[in-house]
Amino acid sequence: MERIEEITTEELQKKLEEGEKLELVDVREDEEVASGMIPGARHIRMGTIPENLDKFDKDTEYIIICRSGNRSGNVCHYLQDQGYKVRNMTGGMLNWQGETK
């Protein structure tokens, strides 16, 4: 299995604060995102990723987010196998110290 690129919550927060344009995809369930998402993230539940592949572009890198980093890791493996560029946010929203909306 190919290694998945990772980004820490601190690295992501710094990039966002510097105004970097990033594609964030939150794969948590509806009730989880109700408690807050990283501003600018798109919500596509993990179970619906296969039917939403048309929302992804193979020339764009996506940062995948979940609660702890496990589900997003699985989504990263799936998307990478489909030919997409992905990075897993390690530690997930449990580690996120930045703002949420």
Catalytic residues: 66
Q: DSSP per residue over the chain, as a string? A: -PPPEEE-HHHHHHHHHTT---EEEE-S-HHHHTT---TT-EE--GGGTGGGGGG--TTSEEEEE-SSSHHHHHHHHHHHHTT-EEEEETTHHHH--S---
